Amino acid sequence: MEKPKWVIEKEQSKKATSQKTVWLFGIHAVKDALVNPVREKIQLVLTLNAAAKLADAIAQSGIEPQICEPRQFSAPLDPGSVHQGAALEVKILDWGTLADHALASDTGAPRLILLDQVTDPHNVGAILRSAEVFGANAVIGTQRHSAPETGSLAKSASGSLERQPYLRLRNLAQTILELKNMGYIVLGLDGAGEETIEQALESHFDKPVALVFGAEGPGLRQRTKETVDKLVRIESSGKFGSLNVSNAAAVALYAARHVS
């Protein structure tokens, strides 16, 4: 029997994912990747000093490191990378499907973060850290125009990339519609929102919630604004009234946890 189209696409995506590798760097990012049992590790490059700091993680991983002099660090990183003498080549993680995370929650109603063309790896890394701290089920971007899994993102995430699900799906508007069909209330963060995030969440405290954030400057795209259930704002006590997207995500996640 011929396979359904969605099965074929999933298999192709998984195959493509399994063939891609990335160099992680920095003590925290490398350490957490070494001790992550589902992370496939390829090669490890360290200075003697970094090897001493990572001795327990190296032993747990079973990988044999290549030791380099600090001035002859051989990992193929960008010259400006602050690697701290540690770099690890890995295959990127496969976090599964939207349903795998949207329909699962250990405590209370699920909470998801959706990113609308947020491309800065430092912002996404910081959002992953906040998502892990405040118990979000997943952070979801798009396959195009969103930050891919890179060494810079992993370093900014300070280890959270190994534990916090980060999915990149084909189409954000379609993802929002799928979440609505799963019973989610989808809230877009926008300075012009009529309700505060607390007001919106208090009205839907027992429902699964997806919070959507736009890129620095442009904010949410028009199609996204038209697809979410509501536009909400973060209350500001001053005239400035604007937050970096990673800070906004942390505040919104705290509010979502508070009312859940």
Residue 120 and residue 237 share a domain:
yes
Closest to 48 (Cα-Cα) out of 72, 69, 34: 69
Residues 41-82 have pLDDT tens digits of 999 999 999 999 999 999 999 999 999 999 999 999 998 899
Mean residue pLDDT of the chain comes to 90
Residue 130 and residue 198 share a domain:
yes
Confidence of residue 235 (pLDDT cuts 50, 70, 90): confident
- Our count of domains for the chain comes to 2
pLDDT of residue 106: 65
pLDDT of residue 104: 72
Residue 156 and residue 83 share a domain:
no
Residue 138 and residue 111 share a domain:
yes
Kindly tell me if the per-residue pLDDT of 6 is higher than 70: no
Residue 220 and residue 160 share a domain:
yes
User: What sign does the dihedral 9-140-99-38 (CA atoms) show?
Assistant: positive
- What are the residue ranges of helices labelled H in 135-237? 151-157, 172-181, 197-203, 222-227
- Residue numbers of the domain that contains 208: 98-259
Q: What is the DSSP string of 108-146?
A: SS-EEEEEES---HHHHHHHHHHHHHHT-SEEEEESSSS
Kindly tell me if the per-residue pLDDT of 19 is higher than 90: no
pLDDT of residue 107: 62
- Which of 30, 64, 91 is the C-terminal boundary of a domain? 91
Residue 220 and residue 175 share a domain:
yes
Residues 100-148 have pLDDT tens digits of 999 876 666 789 999 999 999 999 999 999 999 999 999 999 999 999 9
CA 179 to chain centre: 18
Dihedral pair phi/psi, residue 22, rounded to 5°: -145, 150
Token reading at 66: 């290549």
Residue 134 and residue 75 share a domain:
no
Report the CATH number that the domain containing residue 68 is assigned in CATH.
3.30.1330
Report the CATH number that the domain containing residue 115 is assigned in CATH.
3.40.1280.10
Residue 231: half-sphere exposure toward Cβ, Cα within 13 Å: 15
- Which of 67, 91, 115 is the C-terminal boundary of a domain? 91
Residue 138 and residue 222 share a domain:
yes
pLDDT of residue 217: 85
Residue 128 and residue 48 share a domain:
no
Residues 146-168 have pLDDT tens digits of 999 999 999 999 999 999 999 99
